[in-house]
Structure 1
Amino acid sequence: MTALQPQTVPVPVLDADLDFLDIVTEWDTTTAFHKWRPSIVVPATFRSANTPRTIVVGNQKGGVGKTITSLELAMAFAARGLRTRLIDADPQKAALTVWLRETCYPEVGPRHTLRDVFFGQATLAQATHPTIYRGLYFIPSDPDLSDVESANSSKVLSPETLLRDALRADTGEWDINLFDLGPNLDKISISALIAAQDLVIAIQDGGLEVEGTGNIITTVNSIKERMNPDLALRAIFFTDFKKDSLHRKIGQEMSKGFPDALIVPARESTNAGWSTLNKRPLRMYAPGDKPCLDYDRAAGLLISTDQKAG
């Protein structure tokens, strides 16, 4: 891990009296639409997981809210006292890295990235940077991370299993490792999926996003059979969720298609865009905002904190 900076900013715990979504086992399709209220679907078979846990957030399409889902879940975990490491595994625009650079880790000394881990130039611990937020740590991406795809075996040995092996060898005591994947199912994404127990999918408007969900599920099923039987789809997030017939219809279909996963409508808000523009997590920019509440409640469902004191 690089030189520490003080983690001076506490991640706020949200007031229980705020406008959280209800929790149901299925969406009510009999209520007239104008009276219908979005809720989080928690199947009867669903159980919160214990830590330590490795989670990936992905979909085979860009611009669907993977980055905000990753960041807000990480902030919600940190608020619960979980030592959380957020890992930017997107080589294309390094959106999460750009977002966090100004506010999360200092511009001092050499900074290792996820690329260095793949090319054997750093361990996960050496690529981990503290943030100003208590409990939140970060491994940045690099535009050259895409070199992993074309590297020969003498430079990157067994890339598909590299992250699994690196996590097993890591000396840090992490409660949560959370990967923000790129839109392509490349070697980096495959490596993260082989290392993880939980898959979280972010979709936005339906259509192409639903098709991308089918593609990643096909890949996940193949990985489960060959490399990682513990991997499971745990949640589907509808980012910028609008209360309309299209979103309700797609939510119903997703609930039927993936009956063991949470269905989470992360409600739309203009503050989400402003927080991105200001390069601040939504939880810090507008902690009482509706999508912040939705990500927070989902984080509490995904991970049990019974073993954490205070």
Structure 2
Amino acid sequence: MRETQSQTVQVQALPDDLAFLDIVTEWDTTTPYHQWRVGTVVPETFLPGPVPRVIAVANQKGGTGKTSTALELALALVARGLRVRLIDADPQAAGLTHWLPCARPEGGPTLVDLYFDLKRTIQDVTYPTPYAGLYLVPSLPDLDDVQARNPVDAQNTLRHHLRKADDGIDVTIIDSGPSLGTLTVSALVAAHDVVIPVQASSGLDVVGMSALNDTIEVVQARPNPELRVAAVVLTDFEKSTLAREIGDAVAQAFPDALIVPARTSVKLGSAQLQQMPLRFFDPKATTVMDYDRAAGLLLVGRGQGAAA
């Protein structure tokens, strides 16, 4: 893993006087709608995980906010003093690698090399970003070759490299693509936790969760019994009857997981065009606060508030 002077931007903790959502223990479906206050759900059975930790952000449906979830969670963890590695496991061109510049030299190895070149290590394909404490394993469209050619033991590749890594990374977050193919299974086999983004305005996202849950159960049954669904993020969240119903559905499907409403931001698209995380483009955005709160809840000893 390369250290360079490009890491000059410090990720600061958010002030604790912003409009964070309340923390509640269950999703509220009984309060009359006009009195309903949306909260971040932390079930009494939820247990934060220790570091080092591997988190897969997954949903087989496109457009659910996987990449923004991975990036904003990563920055919130960096603001808490952790060193975080993001892995772009999505072959699509307009993904995390485009949004988050890194210090990869021309022709430098990327994630695909980890699957096909036995001499490569995770450190070889991990590069600094402009943000101190945040690193990226980039990918190019040739990552599709992993799906097409299915190299030997592909499902265990990430797990093997991450478990043997000794590079001081506290948390690795894997941004998975919109399918349940080899790359997503590889991410699930490597992970301790799954974070599932679900659009709060799309009933189809809830229907599609069943396929992902089936895949998670298969992975839990054999290659990775440690795997758990740690959180469901309700992306583009705006208070509505549908959003309330979707929140209830995911709370019933994953009773031990955090339910995190990530309130909508009109500036997210502009931040992507500028190749800036929303946390820097609009640091007071409610979306940023919601991901910051989630990051503080996911890991042991990281608190529940903005600056914990």
The TM-score bracket by the shorter chain reads over 0.9
Confirm whether residue 14 of structure 1 aligns to residue 14 of structure 2.
yes
| 2:126 equivalent in structure 1 | 128
| 1:79 equivalent in structure 2 | 79
| 2:56 equivalent in structure 1 | 56
Q: CA deviation at 1:93?
A: 2.7
1:149–1:20 distance in 2 versus 1, CA, 3 Å: same
- Could you tell me how far apart the structure 1 residues matched to 2:28 and 2:104 are? 50
| 2:192 equivalent in structure 1 | 197
- Could you tell me how far apart the structure 1 residues matched to 2:156 and 2:217 are? 17
| 1:237 equivalent in structure 2 | 233
SS in 2 for 1:173: coil
Q: Deviations over 1:158-202 (max 9, x none)?
A: 101111111122231211010000011111111110011100000
Q: Give the letter aligned to residue 249 of structure 1.
A: E
Q: Deviations over 1:28-71 (max 9, x none)?
A: 32322122121101100012111000000010100110000000
| 1:253 equivalent in structure 2 | 249
| 2:276 equivalent in structure 1 | 280
C-alpha contact 1:23 1:42 (8 A) present in aligned 2: yes
Q: Give the letter aligned to residue 60 of structure 1.
A: Q
| 1:108 equivalent in structure 2 | 105
SS in 2 for 1:28: coil
Q: CA deviation at 1:207?
A: 2.1
- Could you tell me how far apart the structure 2 residues matched to 1:158 and 1:30 are? 49
Q: Which moved more, 1:171-180 or 1:90-99?
A: 90-99
Q: CA deviation at 1:305?
A: 3.6
SS in 1 for 2:91: coil
Q: CA RMSD in A?
A: 1.6
Equivalent of residue 176 in structure 2, options 165, 181, 184: 181
- Could you tell me how far apart the structure 1 residues matched to 2:43 and 2:202 are? 21
| 1:145 equivalent in structure 2 | 143
Q: Give the letter aligned to residue 29 of structure 2.
A: T
Q: Deviations over 1:246-266 (max 9, x none)?
A: 000110121122100111100
- Could you tell me how far apart the structure 2 residues matched to 1:49 and 1:115 are? 29
Q: Give the letter aligned to residue 125 of structure 1.
A: Q
1:223–1:131 distance in 2 versus 1, CA, 3 Å: same
- Could you tell me how far apart the structure 2 residues matched to 1:27 and 1:4 are? 45
Q: Deviations over 1:212-231 (max 9, x none)?
A: 21111100001100110000
| 1:117 equivalent in structure 2 | 114
C-alpha contact 1:88 1:94 (8 A) present in aligned 2: no
| 1:168 equivalent in structure 2 | 163
Q: CA deviation at 1:107?
A: 5.8
Q: CA deviation at 1:94?
A: 4.9
Superposed, which structure 2 residues align to 1:12-51 within 5 Å? 12-51=12-51
C-alpha contact 1:5 1:131 (8 A) present in aligned 2: no
- Could you tell me how far apart the structure 2 residues matched to 1:63 and 1:192 are? 19
Q: Which runs of 4+ in 1 moved over 4 A?
A: none
1:306–1:276 distance in 2 versus 1, CA, 3 Å: closer
C-alpha contact 2:206 2:249 (8 A) present in aligned 1: no
Q: Give the letter aligned to residue 28 of structure 2.
A: D
**Number of residue pairs matched?**
302
Superposed, which structure 2 residues align to 1:89-100 within 5 Å? 89-100=89-100
SS in 2 for 1:270: coil
- Could you tell me how far apart the structure 2 residues matched to 1:194 and 1:88 are? 16
